[in-house]
Chains A and B, each alone.
Chain A
Amino acid sequence: MLQILSFKGSVNFLRHALPISIMSLILVVLSLVCLATKGINWGLDFTGGTSIQLTFSKPADLSSLRDTLDNEIIAGAVVQNFGSSRDVVVRLQTKEGVKSDDQVKLVLSAAKAQDPAVEQKSVEFVGPQVGKELAEQGSLAVLVALICILLYVSFRFEWRLSLGAVAALAHDVTVTLGLFSFLQLEFDLTVLAGVLTVVGYSLNDTIVVFDRIRENFLKMRKATPTEVVNTSITQTMSRTIITTGTTIITVIALFLKGGTLIHGFATSLLMGITVGTYSSIYVASFLAIKLGICREHMMPVQVEKEGADQPSIMP
Chain B
Amino acid sequence: MLNKYPMWKNLLVIIIIAVGAFYAVPNLFGEDHAVQVVGTRGAAVTPATESQVEQLLASKGIKIKRSELENGQLLVRVNNAEDQLLAKEAIASTLGENFSVALNLAPATPAWLEKLGANPMKLGLDLRGGVHFLMEVDMSEAIRKMEDAKVADFRSQLREQSIRYAGAKATPKGIEVRFRDADTLAKAEQYLKTHSNNEMVFTDTSNGDNFVLLASMSEQYLRQIKEDALTQNITTIRNRVNELGVAEPVVQRQGAERIIVELPGVQDTARAKEILGATASIEFHMVDQKTDLAAAKAGRIPAGSEVYKRREGGEVVLHKDVMLTGDHITGAQPSFDQYSRPQVSINLDAKGGSIFSDVTKDNIGKPMATLFIEYKDSGERNPDGSVKMNKVEEVISVATIQARLGRNFVITGLTHGEAQNLALLLRAGALIAPVSIVEERTIGPSLGAENIQNGLQAMIWGMAVVLLFMMIYYRAFGVIANLALTANLVMVVGVMSMIPGAVLTLPGIAGMVLTVGMAVDGNVLINERIREELRAGRPIQQAIHEGYGNAFSTIADANITTFITALILFAVGTGAIKGFAVTLMIGIATSMFTAIVGTRAIVNALWGGKRLKKLSI
Q: Which residues of A does B touch, CB under 8 Å?
A: 1-2, 4, 48, 53, 94, 96-102, 119-130, 132, 134, 137-138, 140-141, 144-145, 148-149, 152-153, 156, 189-190, 192-193, 196-197, 199-201, 203-204, 207-208, 211-212, 215, 235-236, 238-239, 242-243, 245-254, 256-259, 261-262, 265-266, 269, 303-308, 310, 313-314
From residue A296, how far is it (CB to closest CB) to chain B in Å? 21
From residue A113, how far is it (CB to closest CB) to chain B in Å? 20
B514–A193 CB distance below 8 A: no
Of all A-B residue pairs in the complex, the 7 with the closest CB atoms, nearest first, are A250-B517, A259-B454, A307-B549, A250-B462, A253-B462, A127-B438, A306-B549
- Contact mask B383-414 → A, CB, 8 Å, 1/0? 01111000000000000000000000000000
**Assuming A1-B617, A211-B553, A235-B532, is B558 touching A258 (CB within 8 A)?**
no
What residues on B are CB-neighbors of A196 within 8 Å?
565, 568-569
A sample of 24 cross-chain residue pairs with beta-carbon separation below 8 angstroms, ordered by A number, consists of A1-B617, A2-B472, A2-B474, A122-B444, A124-B441, A129-B386, A130-B438, A132-B385, A134-B574, A141-B573, A190-B580, A200-B565, A201-B562, A246-B469, A250-B458, A250-B517, A253-B458, A253-B461, A253-B513, A258-B513, A259-B450, A259-B455, A262-B455, A307-B545
* Bound CA span A200–B461, Å: 24
B561 within 8 Å of A (CB atoms): yes
B458–A207 CB distance below 8 A: no
A303–B447 CB distance below 8 A: no
Among B487-536, those with CB < 8 Å from A are 506-507, 509-510, 513-514, 516-518, 520-521, 524-525, 528, 531-532, 534, 536
* Bound CA span A305–B596, Å: 13
What residues on A are CB-neighbors of B210 within 8 Å?
none
What residues on B are CB-neighbors of A248 within 8 Å?
517
Task: Please name the residue on chain B nearest to A189 by beta carbon.
Answer: B577
B444–A120 CB distance below 8 A: yes
Task: Please name the residue on chain B nearest to A128 by beta carbon.
Answer: B385
Q: Which residues of B does A touch, CB under 8 Å?
A: 126, 134, 136, 269-270, 273, 377, 379-381, 384-387, 437-444, 446-447, 450-451, 454-455, 457-459, 461-463, 465-466, 469-470, 472-475, 506-507, 509-510, 513-514, 516-518, 520-521, 524-525, 528, 531-532, 534, 536-538, 542, 545-546, 548-550, 552-554, 557-562, 564-566, 568-569, 571-574, 576-577, 580-581, 584, 617
18 further A-B pairs in the complex, CB-CB below 8 A; given A239-B521, A246-B469: A97-B380, A102-B379, A121-B443, A121-B447, A127-B439, A141-B569, A204-B521, A212-B554, A249-B465, A250-B514, A252-B462, A253-B461, A254-B462, A254-B514, A258-B457, A259-B451, A306-B548, A310-B546
A123–B562 CB distance below 8 A: no
What residues on B are CB-neighbors of A119 within 8 Å?
444, 446
**Assuming A124-B440, A140-B572, A204-B562, is B516 touching A250 (CB within 8 A)?**
yes
From residue A57, how far is it (CB to closest CB) to chain B in Å? 13
B441–A125 CB distance below 8 A: yes
What residues on A are CB-neighbors of B568 within 8 Å?
141, 144-145, 148, 196
What residues on A are CB-neighbors of B557 within 8 Å?
156, 207, 211
* Bound CA span A156–B518, Å: 22
B546–A152 CB distance below 8 A: no
From residue B399, how far is it (CB to closest CB) to chain A in Å? 36
What residues on A are CB-neighbors of B384 within 8 Å?
129
* Bound CA span A83–B581, Å: 26
From residue A307, how far is it (CB to closest CB) to chain B in Å? 3
The one of A144, A238, A269, A314 in contact with B514, judged by C-beta atoms closer than 8 angstroms, is: A269
The one of B377, B517, B537, B561 in contact with A99, judged by C-beta atoms closer than 8 angstroms, is: B377
* Bound CA span A265–B433, Å: 38
The one of B438, B517, B572, B580 in contact with A129, judged by C-beta atoms closer than 8 angstroms, is: B438
A208–B554 CB distance below 8 A: yes
What residues on B are CB-neighbors of A149 within 8 Å?
561, 564-565
The one of B134, B380, B463, B537 in contact with A96, judged by C-beta atoms closer than 8 angstroms, is: B380
The one of B463, B510, B562, B574 in contact with A203, judged by C-beta atoms closer than 8 angstroms, is: B562
* Bound CA span A122–B550, Å: 51
Most central of A101, A190, A250, A314 by chain B CB within 10 Å: A250
* Bound CA span A23–B569, Å: 31
**Assuming A152-B564, A258-B513, is B550 touching A305 (CB within 8 A)?**
yes
* Bound CA span A251–B511, Å: 10
Task: Please name the residue on chain A nearest to B580 by beta carbon.
Answer: A193
B454–A239 CB distance below 8 A: no
* Bound CA span A98–B384, Å: 16
Q: How many A-B residue pairs have CB under 8 A?
A: 256
The one of A127, A243, A252, A259 in contact with B521, judged by C-beta atoms closer than 8 angstroms, is: A243
A253–B465 CB distance below 8 A: yes
The one of B444, B510, B525, B571 in contact with A262, judged by C-beta atoms closer than 8 angstroms, is: B510
B454–A262 CB distance below 8 A: yes
* Bound CA span A303–B552, Å: 11
A261–B439 CB distance below 8 A: no
What residues on B are CB-neighbors of A211 within 8 Å?
553-554, 557-558
* Bound CA span A126–B558, Å: 37
B446–A121 CB distance below 8 A: yes
Task: Please name the residue on chain A nearest to B546 by beta carbon.
Answer: A307
* Bound CA span A261–B125, Å: 14
From residue A17, how far is it (CB to closest CB) to chain B in Å? 23
* Bound CA span A193–B575, Å: 12
What residues on B are CB-neighbors of A138 within 8 Å?
572
**Assuming A122-B444, A253-B513, is B565 touching A207 (CB within 8 A)?**
no
What residues on A are CB-neighbors of B546 within 8 Å?
307, 310
B462–A207 CB distance below 8 A: no
What residues on A are CB-neighbors of B438 within 8 Å?
126-127, 129-130
* Bound CA span A196–B562, Å: 10
B560–A239 CB distance below 8 A: no
What residues on A are CB-neighbors of B459 within 8 Å?
253
Task: Please name the residue on chain B nearest to A8 by beta carbon.
Answer: B535
Task: Please name the residue on chain A nearest to B520 by beta carbon.
Answer: A246
Most central of A48, A99, A211 by chain B CB within 10 Å: A211
* Bound CA span A36–B490, Å: 45
**Assuming A306-B552, A308-B549, is B561 touching A243 (CB within 8 A)?**
no
* Bound CA span A126–B269, Å: 15
A48–B385 CB distance below 8 A: yes
B454–A258 CB distance below 8 A: yes
**Assuming A127-B439, A246-B469, A253-B461, is B576 touching A153 (CB within 8 A)?**
no
B552–A193 CB distance below 8 A: no
* Bound CA span A242–B523, Å: 11
* Bound CA span A189–B387, Å: 23
What residues on B are CB-neighbors of A239 within 8 Å?
521, 524-525, 528
What residues on A are CB-neighbors of B440 within 8 Å?
100, 123-126
The one of B473, B510, B528 in contact with A258, judged by C-beta atoms closer than 8 angstroms, is: B510
The one of B134, B454, B572 in contact with A141, judged by C-beta atoms closer than 8 angstroms, is: B572
A305–B552 CB distance below 8 A: yes
What residues on B are CB-neighbors of A53 within 8 Å?
447
A193–B569 CB distance below 8 A: yes
What residues on A are CB-neighbors of B566 within 8 Å?
200
What residues on B are CB-neighbors of A208 within 8 Å?
525, 554, 558
* Bound CA span A100–B380, Å: 10
**Assuming A243-B521, A247-B514, is B564 touching A148 (CB within 8 A)?**
yes
The one of B379, B441, B584 in contact with A123, judged by C-beta atoms closer than 8 angstroms, is: B441
